[in-house]
């Protein structure tokens, strides 16, 4: 695993997207000192340099909300990589004189091609612990092979109230109403019927509640505290079929509401950490979710409302959305899932100051549909038949982002699940 991080790689270019209003000379002045490192020749060096540049951009006050990716260089040389930062944040404070905040965040990416969030918030209590908000959110993302090779566009208008725990930046409770429009298209010829049934535009109206309690003293190597997050959604969804010819008259009309269904969806995430010895921690993470149809036909539940499981941020050593049933490469998704991860993280011997940590883990989980079966029987079947994987790896602390390079082995897998043997790389904020 150390050989993977120390593999020879050189940095070809650093690009900052969404910084059109920022002077190029200023960006060069900010970034150039970090590229003068005499030994910038391995993947580890590239990660260290990426972290240093990210901190410099954040310290400028212009790029507080960042995402970053390391990708093959545009020059086509396999030994060269580019580091690409995506960040655009606008923020106006006290615009209406009531401690209000108007913010705009936008980013470009790979799987998520585009995303933006325009939000207005203002306090509703004199203690400033509760804030009302109104947000317009948009995304365009690639669904990958597991989503029939398609693409989904989504727009949502969301309004609600957030209540913050005293002295913390994290909302303890959020209650909101959301009206969303989404559209799946550009499916490949071999896309499965499960995603094809959701192709085209669809709307959804939801009531949501999110509860969060986070007392972890460290996101990557916690030695005390715990995390609990519970999300509940009560939703009415409908398919929008436009301009459907009528056999009797040949006329066309707009139909709103074909494929109506109502469902309740709940998802929970918990994490606990312990200190074993100096520089060695044990963490246990668990996640579970249930989608229960309240009205309508199960076949009309939108593909994006189904749960997916598997991948480097989820149950490792399985492909992204590789668990549960599949139609060819297309994931069917599921109505119930659970996953557990037990991880030991420690310092590299004689290098406790390095941001790179070693990692040993075991993951287990299951994803399946309810399909009209009694709920208890379906859950019992899932709990008693988990898929399991184990592995070793390295974790690079690129706060708040975490990078993992793992070698994993699936020990138990259900029929049709997509396995991932050999090295697997994950980059994200939350891992199992």
Q: Is the pLDDT reported for residue 289 higher than 90? A: yes
The highest-confidence range among 141-150, 335-344, 380-389, by mean pLDDT, is 335-344
Task: State residue 242's pLDDT score.
Answer: 46
Q: Tokens at residue 384, please?
A: 């008693």
Task: State residue 353's pLDDT score.
Answer: 85
Phi, psi (5° rounding) for residue 44? Answer: -60, -45
Q: Is the pLDDT reported for residue 66 higher than 90? A: no
| Cβ(305)–Cβ(291) below 8 Å | yes
Question: Measuring CA to CA, which residue among 101, 95, 27, 29 is closest to residue 63?
Answer: 27
DSSP code, position 159: E
Percent of the chain past pLDDT 90, that is, above it, reads: 42
Task: State residue 245's pLDDT score.
Answer: 43
Beta strands 101-108 and 112-123 are antiparallel
The highest-confidence range among 191-195, 296-300, 371-375, by mean pLDDT, is 191-195
- Check if CATH label 3.90.550.10 holds for domain 1-86: no
Q: Is the pLDDT reported for residue 244 higher than 50? A: no
| pLDDT (mean) for 61-79 | 60
Window from 64-68, 132-136, 341-345, 366-370 with minimum mean pLDDT: 64-68
User: Tokens 């790979």, residue?
Assistant: 110
- Find how far residue 420's CA is from the centre of its chain: 19
Task: State residue 169's pLDDT score.
Answer: 62
Q: Tokens at residue 16, please?
A: 């900052």
Question: b/e per residue, 80-90, with b = 16+ CB within 10 A?
Answer: ebbbbbbbbbe
How many whole angstroms separate alpha carbon 125 and alpha carbon 130? 6
| pLDDT (mean) for 102-126 | 80
The highest-confidence range among 26-40, 110-124, 159-173, 273-287, by mean pLDDT, is 273-287
> Please, which pLDDT band fits residue 247 given cuts at 50, 70 and 90?
very low
Window from 20-24, 54-58, 248-252, 391-395 with minimum mean pLDDT: 248-252
C-alpha dist (Å) from residue 339 to 154, 227, 364: 27, 16, 6
| pLDDT (mean) for 98-123 | 79
Q: Is the pLDDT reported for residue 254 higher than 60? A: no
Q: Is the pLDDT reported for residue 212 higher than 90? A: yes
Task: State residue 364's pLDDT score.
Answer: 97
How many whole angstroms separate alpha carbon 285 and alpha carbon 308? 17
**% helix, strand, coil for the chain, step of 5:** 15, 55, 35
Task: State residue 368's pLDDT score.
Answer: 92
Q: What is the pLDDT of residues 41-54, one digit of tens each?
A: 677 777 778 777 87
Taking the C-alpha atoms of 19, 22, 25 and 31 in order, what is their torsion angle to the nearest 10 degrees? -50
How many whole angstroms separate alpha carbon 121 and alpha carbon 108? 24
Task: State residue 210's pLDDT score.
Answer: 96
Q: What is the pTM of this model?
A: 0.76
Structure-model confidence comparison of residues 289 and 50, the more confident one? 289
Structure-model confidence comparison of residues 371 and 208, the more confident one? 208
The highest-confidence range among 29-33, 180-184, 243-247, 326-330, by mean pLDDT, is 180-184
> Please, which pLDDT band fits residue 64 given cuts at 50, 70 and 90?
low
Q: What is the pLDDT of residues 335-372, one digit of tens each?
A: 999 999 999 999 988 888 888 899 999 999 999 988 77
Beta strands 330-331 and 401-412 are unpaired
Average pLDDT, the chain: 82
How many whole angstroms separate alpha carbon 189 and alpha carbon 192? 9
Q: Is the pLDDT reported for residue 265 higher than 90? A: yes
Task: State residue 257's pLDDT score.
Answer: 37
User: Tokens 């545009």, residue?
Assistant: 74
Q: Is the pLDDT reported for residue 207 higher than 60? A: yes
C-alpha dist (Å) from residue 256 to 235, 243, 253, 317: 16, 11, 10, 42
């Amino acid at each position: 695993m150390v050989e993977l991080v120390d593999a020879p790689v050189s940095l070809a270019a650093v690009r900052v997207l969404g910084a059109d209003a920022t002077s190029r000379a200023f960006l060069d002045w900010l970034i150039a000192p970090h590229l003068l490192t005499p030994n910038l020749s391995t993947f580890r060096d590239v990660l260290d340099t990426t972290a240093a540049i990210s901190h410099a951009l954040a310290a400028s006050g212009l790029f507080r909300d960042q995402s970053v990716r390391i990708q093959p260089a545009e020059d086509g040389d396999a030994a060269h990589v580019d580091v690409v930062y995506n960040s655009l944040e606008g923020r106006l404070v006290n615009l209406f004189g009531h401690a209000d905040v108007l913010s705009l965040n936008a980013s470009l990416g790979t799987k998520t091609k585009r995303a933006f969030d325009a939000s207005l918030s203002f306090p509703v209590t004199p203690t400033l612990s509760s804030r009302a908000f109104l947000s317009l959110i948009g995304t365009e993302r690639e669904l990958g092979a597991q989503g029939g090779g398609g693409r989904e566009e989504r727009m949502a208008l969301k309004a609600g109230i957030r209540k913050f725990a005293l002295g913390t930046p994290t909302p303890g409770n959020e209650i909101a109403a959301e009206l969303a429009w989404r559209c799946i298209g550009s499916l490949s010829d071999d896309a499965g019927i499960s995603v094809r049934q959701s192709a085209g535009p669809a709307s959804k109206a939801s009531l949501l509640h999110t509860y969060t309690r986070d007392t972890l003293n460290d996101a990557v190597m916690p030695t005390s505290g715990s995390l609990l997050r519970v999300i509940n959604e009560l939703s009415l969804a409908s398919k929008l079929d436009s301009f459907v010819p009528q056999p009797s008259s040949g006329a066309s009309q707009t139909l709103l509401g074909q494929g109506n269904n109502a469902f309740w969806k709940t998802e929970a995430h918990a994490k606990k950490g312990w200190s074993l010895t100096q520089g060695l921690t044990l963490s246990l993470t668990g996640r579970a979710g249930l989608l229960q149809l309240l009205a309508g036909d199960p076949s009309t539940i939108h593909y994006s409302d189904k749960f997916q499981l598997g991948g480097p941020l989820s149950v490792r050593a399985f492909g992204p959305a590789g668990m549960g049933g599949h139609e060819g490469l297309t994931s069917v998704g599921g109505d119930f899932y659970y996953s557990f991860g037990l991880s030991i993280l420690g310092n590299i011997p004689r290098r406790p100051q390095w941001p790179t940590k070693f990692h040993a883990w075991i993951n287990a989980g299951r994803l399946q549909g309810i399909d009209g079966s009694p709920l208890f029987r379906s859950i019992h079947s899932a709990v008693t038949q988990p898929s399991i994987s184990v592995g070793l790896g390295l974790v690079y602390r690129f706060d708040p982002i975490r990078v993992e390079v793992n070698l994993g082995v699936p020990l138990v897998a259900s029929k049709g699940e997509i396995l991932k043997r050999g090295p697997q790389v994950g980059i994200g904020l939350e891992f199992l």
